[in-house]
Amino acid sequence: MTAPEIAEEAEIRFENVSKHFGNPAAPFVAVDELDLEIDKGQMVALLGKTGCGKSTMFNMIAGLSAPTSGRVTLMGHDPFKEFDWFRGKIAIVFQNDRLLPWRTAVKNVELGLEMLETTKEERRERAIYWLHKLGLAGHEDDYPHALSGGMRQRVSIARAFATNAELLLCDEPFSALDEITSKRLRMEFARLVRENGKTAVFITHSINEAFDIGDRIVVLKRPAQIAHDIRLDAATSDEEKEAIRRMIHDSLSQ
Amino acid sequence: MSVQDPSLVPFPSPGSLVARRVLRAVMPFVVIAAAWQVASQFFPGYLFPSLVDVFWRVLEIFTSWSAFSNVLATAMRILGGLAGAFVIGAVLGFMIVQSKMIDRFLSPILIFFQGIPALSWVVFAIIWFHGTEFRILFIMIVTTLPAFTFQVVGALRGMSKDLLEMVMSFRPKRMKFYKVMVLPSVLPEILTAWKVNLGNASRVVVVAELVGSSGGVGYQLLQQQQLFDMTGALAWTLQLVFFVLLFQWILTLIETAAFRYRAVSERNL
């Protein structure tokens, strides 16, 4: 079997990818022969119910786990085997803020830049720039325990943007926050991604969140297979959006 | 009867708060000292010497270089032994965490070592080795090594998986990973390990010096026993206790500086 034709602009590619866990004789299939392409500059929401394989896909994109069969490539490289090649090219915003408790807010934002061997002055300057951009001026030297949940998640977003990575991966980053804070942060996040021309993959189980964030919504069914692949743009009317929303809802309810 | 508004009750001044804290810390020792002093009035001096005599003997040791060098020698042996055990224990701990095979091989050996009494190691060291300092260093290392190793293993295994994955997502180089993630994560357990092992080491070093040395606090204690001099025995013991307290205080200072990021709850356990 020959590999399918590869489009130059594809940033992330899943080619016939499966991921199995447990006993090889009777494995748990988390991802089943999945094909997916995400282009540069796209903001994609991967939407699915809990346990549908979203996080497994996320870990494979992040290079934290390898597929059982098939091939995952990012920018033409294997994120698991060529782990170090992606230094500075991928940044992740996790479900919980995952700030290092022994570092102040500004030092947490500097973390990714430290891996890139940037100078101390430049690190500091960029970290403060992003903290201020995310409304955290005056909190630079606060330790994480002194910040609210929303502020901590802002620091983790600042940490991701500060590295200027081409690809942003987000694993339900606002799910632990209250609805108002969550809505405000994801709108802010979407604006920053567009302003800075990033490619973003956003994992969520919330239909509202997917609509707020994505210009493309990939609905997954268990085991991770594509149920719907929807592209939204400025021309998509409210009626069409409502129809899509109902279709996704029905699909997830099955 | 007038009832005072609680909001009008003045807060205690910082000075009186410090005084209370000092009093609380000192009180147990004052009680023990008072009980000892009372006992000294009723028993002969070779059983319960007066604390005044003990104080002058402590001062005498402290001000005489030939005497105080024994205390320093013991302190250096404790620190040298602990440092050696810590370095070896840290290396073994990392190896155990990285390889299940090494874990299965080394852990039973270390557990077996833990079961061997310190005095047995003293005897083995006297039979096996000639040099006094090497004997003591050997005894200090083998008696504290298992605890250090297991504490390093526990600290490494207890690292947050979430934080570890977060740091790994930035693709750090190995040395950078240890610097930004591993060291700060394991530091609390490492400092606790030093505190615990310091107490153990101060007991073991005395036994080692008692049997296999011609200097140090242990050797001096043996001299006091032969002279039936309880004042001297107490004075030398207190020298060692002071050293342990001093080193514990330094470790606590490091802890306070290193863990200032920790949230402090207003409610105690």
Question: How confident is the prediction along chain A (254 residues), in pLDDT tens digits per residue?
Answer: 333 343 445 589 999 999 999 888 888 888 888 899 998 888 999 988 888 888 888 889 988 889 999 999 999 999 999 988 999 899 999 888 899 999 999 999 999 999 988 899 999 999 999 999 888 999 999 999 999 988 999 999 999 999 989 899 998 888 777 888 788 888 888 888 888 888 999 998 888 888 888 789 999 888 777 888 888 887 788 888 888 888 888 888 87
Structure tokens at A75: 């920018």
**How far is the C-alpha of B140 from the C-alpha of B121, rounded, in Å?**
9
pLDDT computed for residue B96 by the predictor: 96
Are residues A3 and A80 part of one domain?
yes
Question: Do the Cβ atoms of B237 and B49 come closer than 8 Å?
Answer: no
pLDDT computed for residue A7 by the predictor: 41
A111 and B170 within 8 Å at the Cβ level: the answer is: yes
Are residues A170 and A159 part of one domain?
no
Are residues B111 and B33 part of one domain?
no
Are residues B196 and B173 part of one domain?
yes
Neighbour count for residue A102 (Cβ, 10 Å):
20
Question: Do the Cβ atoms of A170 and A192 come closer than 8 Å?
Answer: no
pLDDT band at B97; cut points 50, 70, 90 = very high
Which residue in A has a C-alpha nearest to residue B265's C-alpha?
Answer: A145
Which residue in B has a C-alpha nearest to residue A60's C-alpha?
Answer: B169
pLDDT band at B10; cut points 50, 70, 90 = low
- Looking up tokens 């040791």 gives B61
Are residues B59 and B36 part of one domain?
no
Residue A199: beta bridge partners? A167
Are residues B129 and B31 part of one domain?
no
**How far is the C-alpha of A58 from the C-alpha of A136, rounded, in Å?**
28
Which residue in A has a C-alpha nearest to residue B183's C-alpha?
Answer: A102
Minimal Cβ distance to B163: which of A86, A91, A98 = A98
Are residues A149 and A49 part of one domain?
no
pLDDT computed for residue B269 by the predictor: 62
| % of residues, chain B, pLDDT over 70 | 94
Which residue in A has a C-alpha nearest to residue B184's C-alpha?
Answer: A102
What are the E-state strand segments in chain A?
A: 10-21, 28-39, 43-47, 69-74, 90-93, 167-171, 199-204, 216-221, 225-231
pLDDT of B212 above 80: no
Give a yes or no: residue B268 inside a domain. no
Is B5 part of the contact surface with chain A (CB cutoff 8 Å)?
no
Q: How far is A89 from chain B (nearest CA, A)?
A: 9
Question: Do the Cβ atoms of B212 and B125 come closer than 8 Å?
Answer: yes
pLDDT computed for residue B8 by the predictor: 59
Give a yes or no: residue A30 inside a domain. no
Question: Do the Cβ atoms of A166 and A89 come closer than 8 Å?
Answer: yes
Report the residue of B160, B163, B169, B186 to disrupt the A interface, i.e. the one with the largest count of A CBs within 10 Å: B169
pLDDT computed for residue A53 by the predictor: 83
B180 and A83 within 8 Å at the Cβ level: the answer is: no
* CA-based nearest residue to A51, from A30, A32, A65, A69: A30
Chain centroid to Cα B268, Å, comes to 25
Are residues B139 and B210 part of one domain?
yes
Q: Domain with A80 in it: what CATH number?
A: 3.40.50.300
Taking contacts as CB-CB distances below 8 angstroms, the residues of chain A near B263 are: 143, 145-146
ipTM score assigned to the predicted complex: 0.84
* CA-based nearest residue to A30, from A12, A49, A56: A56
* CA-based nearest residue to A182, from A197, A166, A170: A170
Give the number of domains in chain B. Answer: 2
**How far is the C-alpha of B231 from the C-alpha of A46, rounded, in Å?**
78
**How far is the C-alpha of A229 from the C-alpha of B53, rounded, in Å?**
90
Q: How far is B114 from chain A (nearest CA, A)?
A: 34
Q: How many CA atoms lie within 13 A of B125 on its CB side?
A: 26
Give the number of domains in chain A. Answer: 2
Higher pLDDT, B14 or A63: A63
Taking contacts as CB-CB distances below 8 angstroms, the residues of chain B near A62 are: 169
Give a yes or no: residue A125 inside a domain. yes
Are residues A157 and A190 part of one domain?
no
Are residues A116 and A184 part of one domain?
no
* CA-based nearest residue to A93, from A206, A190, A228: A190
**Secondary structure of B173-204 in HEC code, one letter for each residue:** CHHHHHHHHHHHHHHHHHHHHHHHHHHHHHHH
Question: Do the Cβ atoms of A149 and A176 come closer than 8 Å?
Answer: yes
Structure tokens at A230: 């929807």
Q: A-contacting residues of B 150-179, CB under 8 Å? A: 162-163, 165-173, 176
**How far is the C-alpha of B185 from the C-alpha of B178, rounded, in Å?**
9
pLDDT computed for residue A3 by the predictor: 37
Residue A38: beta bridge partners? A12
Give a yes or no: residue B115 inside a domain. yes
Tell me the one-letter amino acid at B259: F
**How far is the C-alpha of B187 from the C-alpha of B260, rounded, in Å?**
13
Give a yes or no: residue A67 inside a domain. yes
Structure tokens at B6: 């609680």
Give a yes or no: residue A208 inside a domain. yes
pLDDT computed for residue A4 by the predictor: 37
Q: Residue B25 sits in which domain range? A: 13-41
Three-state secondary-structure class, residue B260 = coil
- Looking up tokens 């129809």 gives A243
**How far is the C-alpha of A35 from the C-alpha of A13, rounded, in Å?**
7
B169 and A92 within 8 Å at the Cβ level: the answer is: yes
